[in-house]
Structure 1
Amino acid sequence: MKNHPQNLPTNTPTPSDSTEPRALLSRETVQAYLNAATSESTRKAYRSAIRQFEKWGGRLPTDSETLVHYLLSRAETLNPRTLDLHLTAIGQWHRFQGIANPAVEPLIQKTMNGIRRVHARPKQKAKALRLEHIATMARHLRTQPDSSKKYRDLALVLMGFFGAFRRSELVAIRVEDLMWEDEGLIVRLPRSKTDQTGQGIQRALPFGNKTVCPGSALRNWLDTAGIKEGPVFRAVNRWDQVQQKPLNPGAINQLLKQLGTECGFDFVASLSSHSFRRGLSTSAAREKVDFELIKKQGGWKSDATVWEYIEEGQRLTDNATTTLMEKMAALEDID
């Protein structure tokens, strides 16, 4: 039976009952959902791009002529990929204001194509850590005097590599996300770069030899720090006191560079948290681990990304010249 207006409860608002507080609440709620639709890192990148455009002298809304001048003035100093991000940020601002987006006009697109052709630079990739690098780091940490930081850093390195975690994922792990099984550790990721809607991702880490086992290293860290709930990887101050707050994501890059320097690596400048993910995938590829297993462990959505890592890992082991050099060596032996 359909409800008629006279059958509505007396406290049910009708369209004519709208008030300013209700409208204000509605706007705030909508804005909250709009913010949730884009990751915080993306919003930060967009805000930075807008600030740089305004610092240059641009104002929003803008037009294609101003954008062309902006592109030309920055083409010599900014990577084309950075300029693409700036255009995206400016374009998004116009879209959400309901204003025509000048960034998609043919003049702007043609100008950007020209800038890419003239000023394109190879993308700087993080150094892929190999198994021997992780072993060296772990061995170095074990030789250090006992401290909370030592156990945290060892757990972080082993978890980061074998779990192929992003730094945002590592610092977001909470004790409540850990599931200890007889065979190993399952880490639930409530949210990830490839899971912005929060459907949930799980990363499995089997138990192994204690010297290289990420699960055992994590248990030692949690026991040493007395962590029973909340963030797993936390800041440790200069007095080796474990803090309540989670580790800052940027601290992972700093840790890797520090460890790389102490271990005598000659590629410290190209180390970053992404070295874990690249390292796991390329190391697994060299050991001929199945494509699907590599993809699953890293939580990659794109097959193309995984194949890129596999090809990088096997470019010297699976190479057309190997057979030819062996053949040539055999011919020289005959001579």
Structure 2
Amino acid sequence: MKNRFPDTRINALPPTRTSETRAPLPRETLQAYLNAATSESTRRAYRSAIRQFEKWGGRLPTDSETLMQYLLDRAETLNPRTLELHLTAIGQWHRYQGVENPVSEPLIQKTMNGIRRVHAKPKQKAKALRLEHVAAMANHVRARTESKKKHRDLALLLVGFFGAFRRSELAAIRVEDLIWEDEGLIVRLPRSKTDQTGQGILRALPFGNSAVCPGTALRSWLDAADIQNGPVFRAVNRWDQIQHKPLNPGAINQLLKQLGTECGFDFVDSLSSHSFRRGLSTSAAREKVDFELIKKQGGWKSDATVWEYIEEGQRLTDNATTVLMEKMATLAEMHEKMD
């Protein structure tokens, strides 16, 4: 069967009632809307999962016996989260093809629960950038020889951190999305991970000290690159020539790792673009910034996610042992004087 996953197969839809005077159903338009219902990144992940299942020897549609064998064969080698994604992809394929879905069978689900409990591993989290890390990176970039790339990297670093942007959001920003106000810069995100319907999200960056101001750094980059429309963050080649296409999101991870290496950080391997979002939220939490302000700046929909970051940021500053250690130190001093 031809693999059209994860797009809904139009041929499987029930026939449309039409009259002789009604125009035929525009199937190409319908297919476009069906495709738009799932993000491209999700489609890529699902297609990759299906390819791995087929490479193992599976065929679609499949049955519960084959699927069970797949789980047992891969349980030792794949992270349970990856294996769960594979099940989701296979299940979605069957659902949209309108055939019986073996993933939903209780025995498959219970087996997956058991694999998760036996083989679960802590999720690798990106290193949260602290204020001192960003300051060190910014100073390092400023010390470079004058170039367009120097201006771009500084703007990317400061805008990414203070705006708590995802790498896909940074790469997608266009000049037309920038709203310059007297008090600072507002970036309109036409679409993001938490806004798949394109209602638009606004991210505000107030003007501040020019040494760390994201708006000032961004203005300097746009002026140096003479960018007046189109993508804001673009690739710059080794001859300091600016490309017309937007920066590849993966290049943002590479830039952070490069800066981390040049600054001598010992956590370079755990640096990624998510270090911006974790860094902004945990740094704000350490400074006792209000919960709602942190949530708004990062554009988080889930309160639980924000509280997780706040707890991480205040794990050592708001700790039950702090008061106890101070009390114990006082008692130790008293005993020392008595001796």
TM-score under structure 1 length normalisation: 0.94
Residue 312 (str. 1) matches residue 312 (str. 2): yes
Question: Which letter does structure 1 place at the counterpart of 2:189?
Answer: L
Q: SS of the counterpart of 1:15?
A: coil
Q: Provide structure 2 residue ranges, at least 5 long, that are not aligned to the other structure.
A: 1-17
Q: Provide structure 1 residue ranges, at least 5 long, that are not aligned to the other structure.
A: 1-13
Task: Give the Å deviation of 1:16.
Answer: 2.2
1:91 equivalent in structure 2: 91
Q: SS of the counterpart of 1:121?
A: coil
Question: Which letter does structure 1 place at the counterpart of 2:205?
Answer: L
User: How many pairs are equivalent?
Assistant: 318
Task: Give the Å deviation of 1:91.
Answer: 0.4
Deviation sequence 1:172-198 (CA, Å, 0-9, x none): 000000000000000000001111001
CA distance in 2, matches of 1:56, 1:17: 51
Deviation sequence 1:113-140 (CA, Å, 0-9, x none): 1111110000000000000000000000
- Residue 20 of structure 2: which of 11, 16, 32 is its match? 16
Task: Give the Å deviation of 1:250.
Answer: 0.3
Where in structure 2 are the equivalents of 1:1-335 lying within 5 Å? 15-16=19-20, 22-23=24-25, 26-335=26-335
Question: Which letter does structure 2 place at the counterpart of 1:297?
Answer: Q
Question: Which letter does structure 2 place at the counterpart of 1:271?
Answer: L
Question: Which letter does structure 2 place at the counterpart of 1:133?
Answer: H
Question: Which letter does structure 2 place at the counterpart of 1:198?
Answer: G
Q: SS of the counterpart of 2:20?
A: helix
CA distance in 1, matches of 2:303, 2:42: 23
CA distance in 2, matches of 1:159, 1:262: 20
Task: Give the Å deviation of 1:17.
Answer: 5.1
CA distance in 1, matches of 2:148, 2:76: 47
CA distance in 2, matches of 1:333, 1:198: 63
CA distance in 1, matches of 2:71, 2:152: 45
CA distance in 1, matches of 2:50, 2:41: 14
Question: Which letter does structure 2 place at the counterpart of 1:15?
Answer: S
- Identity among equivalent positions (%) equals 84
CA distance in 1, matches of 2:80, 2:29: 37
Task: Give the Å deviation of 1:104.
Answer: 1.1
Deviation sequence 1:2-21 (CA, Å, 0-9, x none): xxxxxxxxxxxx722578xx
CA distance in 1, matches of 2:333, 2:31: 75
Q: SS of the counterpart of 2:94?
A: helix
Question: Which letter does structure 2 place at the counterpart of 1:47?
Answer: R
Q: Which moved more, 1:27-36 or 1:295-304?
A: 27-36
1:8 equivalent in structure 2: none
CA distance in 2, matches of 1:250, 1:201: 23
CA distance in 2, matches of 1:162, 1:322: 30
2:4 equivalent in structure 1: none
Q: SS of the counterpart of 2:161?
A: helix
CA distance in 2, matches of 1:30, 1:313: 47
CA-based RMSD: 1.0
Moved over 3 A (4+): none
CA distance in 2, matches of 1:32, 1:53: 27
CA distance in 2, matches of 1:317, 1:99: 55
CA distance in 1, matches of 2:114, 2:305: 27
CA distance in 2, matches of 1:271, 1:105: 40
CA distance in 2, matches of 1:245, 1:279: 28
CA distance in 2, matches of 1:32, 1:237: 35
CA distance in 2, matches of 1:51, 1:276: 32
Deviation sequence 1:251-307 (CA, Å, 0-9, x none): 000000000000000000000000000000000000000000000000000000000
CA distance in 2, matches of 1:15, 1:138: 67
